[in-house]
Homo-oligomer: A and B are copies of this chain.
Amino acid sequence: MVRSRASAVTPFQTASHDHDNCVETALDRAAQLCAARGARLTELRRQVLRLVWGGHEPVGAYAVLESLKRSHPGAAPPTVYRALDFLIEHGLIHRIESLNAYVGCSRPERPHVSQFLICGKCGAAAELDDPAIARAVLRRAAELGFVVEQQTIELSGLCPRCRARPDA
């Protein structure tokens, strides 16, 4: 319970974060989800998902491409973009509009609106699913007669860890 409480307190990763395990978990969940939906998580898509999950920093499509080429020499931009499109459609990753970059989704099981906190120093992006924010947004939109189909909420600033260490 201590661990789950900690992750409820901050969506940012701590120093002790076991990222290998984190990635494997994400890949397993993706496989399960796709199986349940009859979607094909091919080796290529799985590989791209793994690369996007390389860290908790959003990663650009061309960075993914460069990495992908190691395992997949013939890869070209469409190779990556098509895989990214698939992963987004299935809620396995999110696109960060303000960075033109992509990041793994922490809760792909259920559809959700998410908000991102993006640290300008370390680059980490933490995904929130804050009902209060979503409610405030939907409430105001409803008052104006606007039907919200998609929310892009990205907050950039300084994460707790970087704020604590004011070094270069």
A contact residues vs B (CB 8 Å cutoff):
9-12, 97-98, 115, 117, 119-120, 126, 128, 130, 132-133, 135-137, 139-141, 144-160, 163
Contact = CB atoms under 8 A, between A and B. Distances in A.
Contacts of A160: 144-146
Given A9-B144, A146-B160, A149-B157, 20 more contacts: A115-B140, A117-B148, A120-B149, A128-B140, A132-B140, A136-B136, A137-B153, A146-B155, A146-B158, A146-B159, A148-B157, A149-B158, A150-B155, A151-B154, A151-B155, A152-B154, A152-B155, A152-B156, A153-B153, A153-B154
Given A155-B146, A156-B150, A160-B145, A130 B120 contact: no
A157 to B, nearest CB: 4
A148 B141 contact: no
Number of copies: 2
Nearest to A152: B154
- Secondary structure class of chain A's binding surface, majority of residues: mixed
B117 A144 contact: yes
A135 B132 CA distance: 10
A152 B141 CA distance: 16
A59 B115 CA distance: 25
A128 B139 CA distance: 13
Nearest to A116: B152
A132 B117 CA distance: 18
Nearest to A150: B156
Given A97-B97, A132-B140, A145 B157 contact: no
A115 B137 CA distance: 9
